[in-house]
Structure 1
Amino acid sequence: MNNTIPQAFAAAVRRDPTAPLLTWYDDATGDRTELSGATLENWVSKTANLLVDGIGLGHGDTVGLLLPPHWQTAALLLGVSAAGLAADLGREAQPVQALFTTPDDVEAASAWNTMDRYATGLLPLAMPLRDLPEGYADYVTEVRNHGDHYRGAPVAPADLAVAGPYELSQADAIEAAEVRAAELGIKAGDRVLIDTAAYPDPADWLLAPLVAGASIVLCAHLDRAKLEARSSTEKVSVILV
């Protein structure tokens, strides 16, 4: 039984490490990025190592994520959980030990009290930022310097997964994701196309499919004219728009 987010993610990877687990589309830029379970696991491990070895975070620490739905956001969310840390996904400033955001949200992020700040442009091919905001490190540049495997202590079901005004333990987050998967009609083996504008909550676009045993086709700025062809090409079985 998977009682933590890292356990649920590990189970998703084990089903077929080479099969697409998360496919990303941005119809505003034409970007398409496909990540197998093994590739996403690599990003998650590097992220966890950045948080623990690079920043020096430990049990009980909180990471602020002021980020829209994106495959890099998935890597960060899963990396935070893998490291046994809590993610603060709120839009109101809170004390956190590290913060990840985009250049578009730097002004809002300035209210957050932390020394360690990282930015990502969420660019195609995981390209680094050309113009890095002052006081920020580039996530995609820094994360590549860290190991491909994370060897940290196991995460417990009682550990905090989500911080902020709506705190959830790891077990609570899994239970909530299972409820959402049932409500959204997501089952094991499904390939789920999700419009990020309609379902911006990571409980919907990431955790619910993962705990259900489904794979994800995540679409930003979805062009409805492309929906039918994309659903056929990606062998989609559930559409959430």
Structure 2
Amino acid sequence: MTPDTLLPALLASDPSRPRVTFYDDARGERIELSGRVLGNWVAKAANWLQDECGAEPGSTVRLDLPPTHWRTLYWALAIWAVGATVSGDDDADVVISMTAGDLVEPEASLAKSEIASAADQFTVYLPVDLSRPAIDRPAPVSYRDLIRPVDAASPRTVLEGTQPEVLRTAADVLAADGSVILFAHEDTSRRAGRLQDEGVTAAV
């Protein structure tokens, strides 16, 4: 499986199953996205990238967003849907941020994004080139090589680390028909109970 085919596979498997769960303890927020809802957000973001920014294979997009925010994940999936590269370059063609950039996302999970009115269906204009990088930092990883095998069926995994690490592991887990848990400003004293409640099988 490659990143651009990941989301269609999730929707074909079970569109109603939770695929992303996000906690922000500083704001007292919890958000859960099914495969269908995640797909809607990815389509909106991909349509915005393709139609408003002209993003295509070869374009670079910088995600100046927290590594474990749910918006970071749907933007990465949208970037891969259009065949572009998640870039760590300050001079990327497009910048998505929570402060300043081509598009500014709200930090609050439940606040409305600028892309909310975009279409829920996405059709890519140009085919994805599997030899191009899906992520370019710290070292380029191609579309063909991004997703690694996971030794579990339908894993439910907590993600932590740098943005490239989180995105790559999220792709691995989702490709294995699993789901991911993300934390921001976590109250660590609550983690054990949450892992049990969420049925987590691994923390990465």
1:235 paired residue among 196, 199, 202: 199
Task: Output the CA distance in 2 between the equivalents of 1:81 and 1:122.
Answer: 23
RMSD over aligned CA atoms reads 2.1
The percentage of aligned residue pairs carrying the same residue is 30
Size of the alignment, in residue pairs?
Answer: 201
What whole-Å deviation, never above 9, does each CA across 1:29-62 have from its counterpart, x for those lacking one?
A: 1110000001001100111100011222223111
**Pairs within 5 Å for 1:1-241:** 2=1, 4-68=2-66, 69-88=68-87, 90=88, 93=90, 95-103=91-99, 106=100, 117-125=102-110, 127-128=111-112, 140-141=113-114, 143-152=115-124, 153-164=126-137, 166-174=139-147, 177-178=148-149, 181=150, 187-194=152-159, 196=160, 198=161, 200=163, 201-203=165-167, 205-240=169-204
Task: Output the CA distance in 1 between the equivalents of 2:33 and 2:169.
Answer: 15
Question: Highest Rg: 1 or 2?
Answer: 1
- The 1:205/1:218 distance shift into structure 2, 3 A limit, reads farther
Q: Which has the higher contact order (CA 8 A, sep 6+)?
A: 2
- The 1:8/1:50 distance shift into structure 2, 3 A limit, reads same
- The 1:15/1:199 distance shift into structure 2, 3 A limit, reads farther
Q: TM-score, normalised by structure 2?
A: 0.88
Task: Output the CA distance in 1 between the equivalents of 2:8 and 2:140.
Answer: 23
Task: Output the CA distance in 1 between the equivalents of 2:65 and 2:104.
Answer: 10
What whole-Å deviation, never above 9, does each CA across 1:77-116 have from its counterpart, x for those lacking one?
A: 000000111110x2x52x321101122xx5xxxxxxxxx6
Task: Output the CA distance in 1 between the equivalents of 2:156 and 2:94.
Answer: 33
> 1:157 Cα deviation (Å)?
2.1
Q: TM-score, normalised by structure 1?
A: 0.75
Task: Output the CA distance in 1 between the equivalents of 2:186 and 2:17.
Answer: 23
> 1:233 Cα deviation (Å)?
1.8
Task: Output the CA distance in 2 between the equivalents of 1:215 and 1:165.
Answer: 25
| Structure 1 residue ranges, 4+ long, deviating more than 3 angstroms after superposition | none
User: Where does structure 1 lack aligned partners over 5 or more consecutive residues?
Assistant: 107-115, 129-139
Q: Is the 8 A contact 1:72 1:122 kept in 2?
A: no
In the alignment, residue 220 of structure 1 is paired with which amino acid? A
- The 1:30/1:45 distance shift into structure 2, 3 A limit, reads same
**Secondary structure of the structure 2 residue equivalent to 1:21:** strand
> 1:205 Cα deviation (Å)?
4.7
User: Where does structure 2 lack aligned partners over 5 or more consecutive residues?
Assistant: none
